[in-house]
Structure 1
Amino acid sequence: MRWIFLTVIVLLFELFTYGAGRGLQWWAGSWLSDRSSRYLMISLFVISNALLVFGIARLTSFGLKLSMTWLTILWFVIMSMVAVGIINLVLMKVAPQFFNSVSYQIYGERILLPLVFFGMVLMGIYNAYTPTIRHISLTANQPLAKPIRIGMVSDLHLGLMVGKWQINRLTDMVKAQNVQLLLMPGDIMDDNVDYYTSQNMQPALQQLASAVPMGAYATLGNHDMYGHEGEIRDAIQKANITLLADDKILVDNQLWLVGRLDNHATYRKATKDLMPSNTDKPIILLDHEPNEIEQNVQLPIDLQVSGHTHNGQIFPANFIVKFLNRLGYGYERINNTDVIVSSGYGFWGVPFRLGSQAELWVIDLVGKKS
């Protein structure tokens, strides 16, 4: 799987570099001589492949992020070119006398392209760093003594690009929404605790955990298990967050929480082996990746919460996520089980979201009327 991923990344680097280079050559037009145009393309390939090697070799802790950011920028250039082409077609239908003119084609398109490009970049940053709140009301299959307001936030990816400011903002959101119980289904850290430790994020994460009266509960995601699992476990627990690693817990004698290890752990237990023997109380499953939904909904689970997909993070990957998963993002009731897959609060690799947005889910859970 790793080699397939690397092969796809290499191919994307070469294709996106060529596509962006051709687009920039078209945009520059007569501004560049043939020789300068060739140098532009060669320079882009040199930069792209240098960053590709830099990222794959992991020469620094941020090498992969830098190379993925460059790849995303190339993709934004390509999408900007396509968007400008579509805009031009529309404008030529609306006012052909002006938009078919030589002056517009020389100057108008050259102004429009950077406007569209920087608009995409700004929108990507906004979506990544401006979380929205998704509200939903659900009824459990079992009675509840009283309704519970649950916050669900996945994929924080705490590290270089998601830090104390984002944690504090999440704490403010949780308090403002009067969340009683916080669920965090995986990818709490971004591969390791280096920046989490150096930036002293623990007090902020502790404040988040203390903001919910019924406690905060987390499971491990794939990025929590890439060689630094022990350190990440310790960091989560020291922040007063209860870690459910193939474990279950009865919360306030009202509902069960079942937390699975990510499937990166080949030794993890099957969901059925983690289920409580007494199912007269609602059961909520925290399972980082939504790849076993169809098996899980065969069990007496009231609600499954997952993340991992980021809803693709960058368009058009959201469509790929939808194609590959039974539920790649959002909410669906499947076989008497409510399933929610979040796009996550943080992000992976690049500080952009296009076609997705950072989010917190607020779930009002009520019990079945007897």
Structure 2
Amino acid sequence: MNPIHFFTLGYYQEYLFIGIIFGIIIGIYAYFRVKYALNKVDLSKNKKLSINIIIPIIALLCCLNIWSTAAILTLYLFLSSVTADVIRIIWKYLLKDKYLNFIPKCHKKGILALIIFAVIIISGVYGMNHIELTEYNLTTDKIDNESYSIVWVSDVHYGTVQNPQLVKESISKINDLKPDIVVLGGDIVDERTSKEDMTEIFKELGQINSTYGTYYVFGNHDTQPSSTDYENGNRTFSDEELNKTIRDNGITILCDEKTKINDDIVLVGRSDGSWEDRIDRIDTCKILNESDLSKYVVVLDHQPVEYEENSRQGADLQISGHTHGGQLFPYAIFEKLMGHLIYGEYHFGNMEQIVSSGLTGWGWPMRNEAKCEYVLININ
């Protein structure tokens, strides 16, 4: 991992206020927690004061950019310490078991908090390095005497935070499923994927055997302008090179386009909506009004947006990714509070919406929200 990523995985000024609030809260807590830990330590008063001031300042600075590994680790240290405080209080007032007499001492020295912190980090690394199959079974009366299987793979962010071998093993398992349709749902690569890795991953994905082909819809990361990324550097491949590589490997790009499968299913591939408050693409009403709604209409959209409108217009299924299922606690909580779809299966009228957490994750080499997955959807 590039050392610069520890401090920045993209800076957005609109999140600075949140970072300041978190930093102040954690900084104040750190001041009193460190003061308590140093209470009976044999240090001069000036040294204790210096430590008491320096550590809260470091905590505040680490929290300013909430999209950084530094902020996440600081938050988890804070949560681990608070959890240790709660355990200490429970022991003092409810348990006082002689076999648990080690708790006060471990708590004061911070050992208990560090153990909890280690568990969080280890479980997060484990979560990022295990990929599972998630299966959904849907029924429809629009298809006679046939069943179809769709595999959805999104948010690979290849060559960044996950072992590439795990991705290749998942592609092999997808082949074993013998799917009818494969959809690559965007962010297969991102702003930190090298040109070599970009070429490699689409060569691997192009070898998936699917009865009716493999299709691609773009995400917000793989379509960034060549002059922009989150690291003050340039992508090593252009949009033209990306598109050519995808097509050269037998993968069909659907960008506000549709295609019919065996006169039963209509796949409607959407261009990426960028961010939810800046959607600039063909109106969903227009593209669906031009579709044969007597067929089973599947909207493929990297981000889970416009789902209510798609339902009203007669779509039967929408498949999305982008959210990573939150990836790291507590991001999923914030997203849910904002009313966003995060992970799993939702129902809007007669339409199903499936949101995948993605094959990998972005930025941080950890995951403790949802799981790494590829999705199999059986339509019967």
TM-score range, shorter chain: 0.7 to 0.9
State the match for 1:8 in structure 2.
Answer: 18
Contact 1:88 1:99 in 2 (8 A): no
Instruction: Name the CA distance, whole Å, in 2 between partners of 1:186 and 1:306.
Output: 9
State the match for 1:250 in structure 2.
Answer: 260
Contact 2:150 2:179 in 1 (8 A): yes
State the match for 1:307 in structure 2.
Answer: 321
Instruction: Name the CA distance, whole Å, in 2 between partners of 1:167 and 1:104.
Output: 42
State the match for 2:206 in structure 1.
Answer: 209
| 1:65-89 superposed Cα distances (whole Å, 9 cap, x missing partner) | xx71111111110111122233334
Instruction: Name the CA distance, whole Å, in 1 between partners of 2:56 and 2:310.
Output: 46
| Residue 107 (structure 1) shift | 3.2
Instruction: Name the CA distance, whole Å, in 1 between partners of 2:207 and 2:76.
Output: 40
Instruction: Name the CA distance, whole Å, in 2 between partners of 1:188 and 1:71.
Output: 26
Q: CA separation of 1:107/1:320 partners in 2, compared to 1, >3 Å: closer, same or farther? A: closer
- Letter matched to residue 272 of structure 2: D
Instruction: Name the CA distance, whole Å, in 2 between partners of 1:29 and 1:143.
Output: 73
TM-score (ref. length: structure 1) = 0.82
Q: CA separation of 1:108/1:4 partners in 2, compared to 1, >3 Å: closer, same or farther? A: closer
Q: CA separation of 1:37/1:173 partners in 2, compared to 1, >3 Å: closer, same or farther? A: farther
Identity, in percent, stands at 24
State the match for 2:281 in structure 1.
Answer: 268
1:224 aligns with 2:237: no
Contact 1:202 1:239 in 2 (8 A): no
Contact 1:167 1:208 in 2 (8 A): no
Instruction: Name the CA distance, whole Å, in 2 between partners of 1:17 and 1:169.
Output: 44
**Count of residues paired in the alignment:** 351
Instruction: Name the CA distance, whole Å, in 2 between partners of 1:219 and 1:38.
Output: 56
Contact 2:186 2:219 in 1 (8 A): yes
Secondary structure of the residue aligned to 1:256 is strand
Contact 1:192 1:232 in 2 (8 A): no
Contact 2:161 2:362 in 1 (8 A): no
State the match for 1:60 in structure 2.
Answer: none
Moved more, 90-99 or 320-329: 90-99
State the match for 2:332 in structure 1.
Answer: 318
Instruction: Name the CA distance, whole Å, in 2 between partners of 1:312 and 1:125.
Output: 15
- Letter matched to residue 219 of structure 2: G
State the match for 2:104 in structure 1.
Answer: 105
Gaps of 5+ in 2: 1-10, 227-238
Instruction: Name the CA distance, whole Å, in 2 between partners of 1:163 and 1:232.
Output: 22
| 1:237-284 superposed Cα distances (whole Å, 9 cap, x missing partner) | 344332211111123443111111122275411122222432232111
Q: CA separation of 1:28/1:300 partners in 2, compared to 1, >3 Å: closer, same or farther? A: farther
Instruction: Name the CA distance, whole Å, in 1 between partners of 2:53 and 2:247.
Output: 50
Secondary structure of the residue aligned to 2:374 is strand
Higher helix share: 1
State the match for 2:236 in structure 1.
Answer: none
- Letter matched to residue 217 of structure 1: Y
